[in-house]
């Protein structure tokens, strides 16, 4: 009788292992597959996921990045445009508090900044350090980015958590051309 119980338990455990775990290993969530397709820039899988109704604003488990944040970080303009056209939100942040617009400004990606502004990104949304997209553009020494943001209405009076405005950053970093842009827009010390 003991032997039969042992066989029964063995068969049950064996059946569980062979039927349960392989299925579980193959059943990644739709969100996981979507974000993997984003990281791989696999347009076919991205399109399929969106057509199946995946949440386009789903977040990565590790750093809370959205698909749009990933596209901006990878400097994938066509992918960012595609995501925005399918409803990606422009003002969601990762765990560092950085918006897609701030990331684009910091990297000096003029086309991406223009795209995000056109899509309605908040021009003044700061990260965890109080850095706004305008300050990021100043720190990146990108006059074209600063001009785009100023023309779109970015607030040049906002200070970061160190108490410095975009103008003060330009002065401290000896960026005369950007300092002039900010002063022409109305910035004062």
164 within a domain of the structure (yes/no): yes
The predicted model scores a pTM of: 0.84
How far apart, in whole angstroms, are the C-alpha atoms of residue 18 and residue 36?
27
Please say if the pLDDT value at position 122 is more than 90: yes
> What CATH number is attached to the domain comprising 135?
1.25.40.20
Count the domains in the chain: 1
Please say if the pLDDT value at position 21 is more than 50: no
21 within a domain of the structure (yes/no): no
**Torsion angle of the four alpha carbons 47, 121, 101, 98, in this order, in degrees rounded to the nearest 10:** -90
CB atoms within 10 A of CB 61: 10
89 within a domain of the structure (yes/no): yes
Please say if the pLDDT value at position 28 is more than 90: no
Provide the domain limits for residue 113.
81-189
Mean pLDDT of all residues belonging to the chain: 90
How far apart, in whole angstroms, are the C-alpha atoms of residue 34 and residue 96?
22
108 within a domain of the structure (yes/no): yes
CB atoms within 10 A of CB 54: 21
Report residue 33's pLDDT band, with 50, 70 and 90 as the boundaries: very high
Contact present, 133 and 166 (Cβ < 8 Å): no
45 within a domain of the structure (yes/no): no
């Amino acid at each position: 009788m003991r032997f039969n119980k042992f066989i029964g338990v063995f068969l049950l455990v064996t059946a569980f292992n062979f039927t349960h775990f392989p299925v579980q290993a193959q059943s990644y969530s739709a969100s996981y597959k979507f974000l993997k397709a984003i990281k791989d820039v696999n347009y076919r899988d991205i399109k399929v996921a969106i057509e199946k109704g995946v949440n386009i604003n789903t977040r990565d488990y590790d750093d809370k990045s959205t698909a749009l944040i990933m596209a901006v970080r990878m400097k994938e303009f066509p992918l960012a445009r595609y995501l925005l056209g399918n409803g990606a939100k422009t003002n969601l942040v990762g765990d560092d508090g950085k918006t897609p617009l701030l990331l684009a400004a910091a990297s000096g990606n003029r086309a991406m900044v223009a795209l995000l502004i056109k899509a309605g990104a908040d021009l003044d949304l700061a990260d965890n350090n109080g850095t706004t997209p305008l300050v990021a553009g100043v720190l990146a020494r990108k006059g074209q980015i600063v001009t785009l943001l100023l023309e779109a209405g970015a607030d040049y009076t906002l200070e970061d958590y160190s108490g410095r405005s975009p103008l003060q950053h330009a002065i401290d970093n000896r960026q005369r051309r950007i300092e002039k842009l900010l002063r022409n827009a109305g910035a004062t010390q």
